[in-house]
Homo-oligomer: A and B are copies of this chain.
Amino acid sequence: MSKEITSRAADYSQWYNDLVIKGSLADYSAVKGCMVIKPYGFGLWEKMRDQLDKMFKDTGHVNAYFPLFIPKSFLSKEAAHIEGFAKECAVVTHYRLKNDPNGGGVIVDPEAKLEEELIVRPTSETIIWNTYKTWIQSYRDLPLLINQWANVVRWEMRTRLFLRTTEFLWQEGHTAHATAGEAIAETKQMLDVYAAFAEEYMALPVIRGVKTESERFAGAVDTYCIEALMQDGKALQAGTSHFLGQNFARAFDVKFSDKSNKLEYVWATSWGVSTRLIGALVMAHSDDDGLILPPKIAPMQVVIVPIYKGEDKKDLLDAKGKELAGQLKAAGISVKFDDNDNTRPGFKFAEYEMKGVPVRIAMGLRDLENGSVEIARRDTKEKTAVPMEGLPAYVSNLLNIIQQAMYDKALAYRDQHISRADTWEEFEQLLDGKGGFISAHWDGSPATEEAIKEKTKATIRCIPLNNPPEEGKCILTGQPSKERVLFARAY
């Protein structure tokens, strides 16, 4: 089975698609640009979503649900928002079908045309701030700390499973505050939540930073981001947290009376991560044999495969396998005992390698006699004979070890791929050779940023938080610069 996967060396992009499809994460659909998230992929998303949801709630947020549709006129209200965004949208113009009078199925009823077109939400700032207007009158109504789990649609011409699809699933937090300081603190807090989630659960090291003006979210005063590095040396933006200032409050006229009864515009943030994270997870950790999933979010942490010799003592193996599975389950480990006897063990091994199950336990008749099992780690492929006695503690500990090892490996790779370039030649060589993040001086102008992007396809991923000041000269223009920024080619 693993032979069917294109290797990273041969075609990285095809390797990625093979993993997503053959690893049963997702599938193409009949609707251009939209994907089907398959049960295994959705199981992974559920684990990620539930953990993030817990972290949002632990920081005082609650969930709500706002409409899928946005009146077209709303998108015109915040000038920068519509300027930089929201053009490639699904537009609902009619609300009824009818039978084709000439036979042959249904047609759109021309009489059921909407007076004002509705846009399928590409993001929900506008509809939410229009709602907040009715919810916020006084400082007592603040802060409002609301998150929404939802599907959104941004029409894409060139799509990639998980990484860029027309419809995707995400969460979007939208908070309202009495002061700029509070809103900025919230923006940063949620960036930290995202970074903690990526690093502790996805085993994905990230760089926290702030976007340049031209990479900023349309309508934001500042966009903070976490940036991760994929195995092909390209960067991937894994989450963003925006300080929106009073822009949306002004656009939707949302004011509150403060303690001295003075009317003020409300301060806002928004922040989101999406199913794109699954793409990042796949590309950061997997190998040419399939997915490698971190134990903390793997839908199935352990699989137990019995090695039957025909019917000989099959009952004994099954009984022991179920007993061990029960013990692991009782220890809070998600485990599958695969007693399907239509499939050979070798096929099963390849299948679970493909799916990235962190720990595989194999058990044959000799193991049964010895009171031991063979444990294989998916990440390193190491195999060890382990006594059945005390298995739950052993596996529990091993899962932690794997989680940490995956993070360490990704971190070492990432750190080896942050390079400094001081000349344009170095910059180009690094980009085309080693790849990764390049720390270089930039003169601070959007025109230079654009020129670099046109020449090399590299963008400024972020200005890292706590960036040390350093005098230098822009790699392209030679103009003075006060700090380095991080460039990379990116997804």
Contact = CB atoms under 8 A, between A and B. Distances in A.
A51 interface: no
A131 B27 contact: yes
Contact of A140 (B68, B98, B106, B342): B342
A62 interface: yes
A300 to B, nearest CB: 11
A82 interface: yes
A91 interface: yes
Contacts of A31: 67, 69-71, 118, 127
A376 B322 CA distance: 49
Contact of A94 (B82, B93, B104, B131): B93
A96 interface: yes
A89 B120 CA distance: 14
A149 to B, nearest CB: 10
Interface residues of A, number: 68
Interface string A14-42: 00000000000001011100111111011
Contacts of A169: 65
A95 interface: yes
- Of A87, A92, A104, A120, most buried by chain B (CB within 10 Å of CB) is A92
Given A31-B127, A120-B92, A127-B31, A36 B63 contact: no
Contacts of A119: 97
Contacts of A105: 72-73, 75-76, 82
A90 interface: yes
B106 A82 contact: yes
Interface string A108-136: 11000000011110000001001100110
Interface of A is mostly: mixed
Contact of A68 (B34, B66, B94, B99): B34
Contacts of A463: none
Contacts of A72: 97, 105-106, 108
A97 B91 contact: yes
A29 B66 contact: yes
A88 B106 CA distance: 12
A151 interface: yes
A70 B37 CA distance: 16
A227 interface: no
A75 B92 contact: no
B106 A95 contact: no
Given A62-B39, A75-B106, A342-B140, A29 B93 contact: no
Contact of A108 (B30, B74, B88, B91): B91
B146 A39 contact: yes
Contacts of A106: 72, 75-76, 82, 86-87
**Copy count, this protein chain:** 2
A447 interface: no
A109 B86 CA distance: 13
A167 interface: yes
Interface string A52-72: 000000000011111111111
A155 interface: yes
A439 to B, nearest CB: 38
A43 interface: yes
A489 to B, nearest CB: 27
Contacts of A64: 36-39, 41-42
A97 B87 contact: yes
Contact of A117 (B45, B71, B108): B108
A45 B87 CA distance: 33
Nearest to A152: B68
A153 interface: yes
A88 B111 CA distance: 12
B67 A35 contact: yes
A46 interface: yes
A89 B93 contact: no
Contacts of A41: 64
A127 B130 CA distance: 33
A44 to B, nearest CB: 11
Given A69-B90, A140-B342, 7 more contacts: A31-B71, A38-B64, A43-B62, A67-B167, A72-B97, A72-B106, A91-B92
The 10 closest A-B pairs by CB, nearest first: A76-B105, A34-B67, A39-B62, A37-B65, A91-B94, A95-B155, A93-B93, A90-B92, A31-B67, A39-B64
Interface of A: 27, 29-31, 34-39, 41-43, 45-46, 62-76, 82, 86-99, 104-106, 108-109, 117-120, 127, 130-131, 134-135, 140, 146, 150-151, 153, 155, 167, 169, 342
